[in-house]
Amino acid sequence: MRHAYVTLVTNADFARGCLALLHSLKLTGTRADRVVMHTDGVDPAAVAHLARAGARPFRIELLPTSAAFNAAHARNALHGAAPFTKGEKPAFHTPLDNFAKLRLWQLPYDRVVFLDADTLVLRNIDKLFAYPEFCAAPNVYESLSDFHRMNSGVFTARPSQATFEAMLTRLDTPGAFWRRTDQSFLQAFFPDWHGLPVTMNMLQYVWFNLPELWSWDAVHVLHYQYEKPWQDHSRADRLRPLIDLWRRYEAGDTPDLSALPRPCASR
């Protein structure tokens, strides 16, 4: 059976994030392929650099969505109709690109685990390949009331052209508006999604909003939602230990996870 970790890179910033992700996966000892789906928005030199870091690049195109769909999900239109109020999306974030994530259902693999390019895998998660489609962790980063929503930064999938075609049919219908792009769509497409523990997709805001949920011994995947660790941003001081950890991975180091500080409540 062919297994792969899959991520999506659509610009230079996410290529930078992906490099740290690839290194973190290597350190877990996984033998699964590390696939990077990339669009033409990524410089060929960056793609080559990712390949040297162990990636298997797959060039993909954005989905063939309608002009009306594209207009509704353009950055200004989407953020105007459904503004992000909890954090800041970086300038390089292009919402429409997120839907290209669905291309993974066309990949020549039996089972995949998708990881956003702004994640780190701190411990081996190969067991997720045995999980069914579709598993994802809840979108918990502010309060327990978020448990009813899933986060699409980490999920399990079984590639299938039939599934991909069914997705395209449902995705772009008259008046379609997916408030949180692929995340909203995938939750609607897989309404009975299986819940992974939050430790399989620990969102960085948990560090200061819900520190009682944070245990370094249990965290397997760390997800830098909203602001990215390679940016200068307003929450950098509050997230400093997590940013420093990401930079260690980016530099190709092997961080000592047992030496990391514990979070403390800041509210």
Q: Please report, for the chain, the start and end positions of each structural domain, with discontinuous segments joined by +.
A: 3-259
Structure tokens at 73: 């999900």
Does residue 238 register a pLDDT over 60? yes
The predicted pLDDT at position 61 comes to: 96
CATH number corresponding to 3-259: 3.90.550.10
Tell me how crowded residue 85 is: count the other CB atoms within 10 A of its CB.
5
Query: Helix 161-171 vs helix 182-189: angle between axes, to the nearest 10 degrees?
Result: 110
**What pairs with residue 113 in β-bridges?**
5, 156
77 — pLDDT class (breaks 50, 70, 90): low
Q: What is the pLDDT averaged over residues 107-124?
A: 98
Residue 83 has a pLDDT of 65
How many other C-beta atoms lie within 10 A of the C-beta of residue 266? 9
* CA 94/CA 74 separation, integer angstroms: 7
pLDDT tens figures, 147-175: 999 999 999 999 999 999 999 999 999 99
Classify each residue of 218-236 as buried b or exposed e, where b means 16 or more C-beta atoms within 10 Å of its C-beta: ebbbbbbbbbbbbeebebe
Chain centroid to Cα 254, Å, comes to 22
User: Which tens digit of pLDDT belongs to each residue from 2-17?
Assistant: 999 999 999 999 999 9
User: According to the model, what pLDDT value does residue 267 have?
Assistant: 45
Which pTM does this prediction carry? 0.94
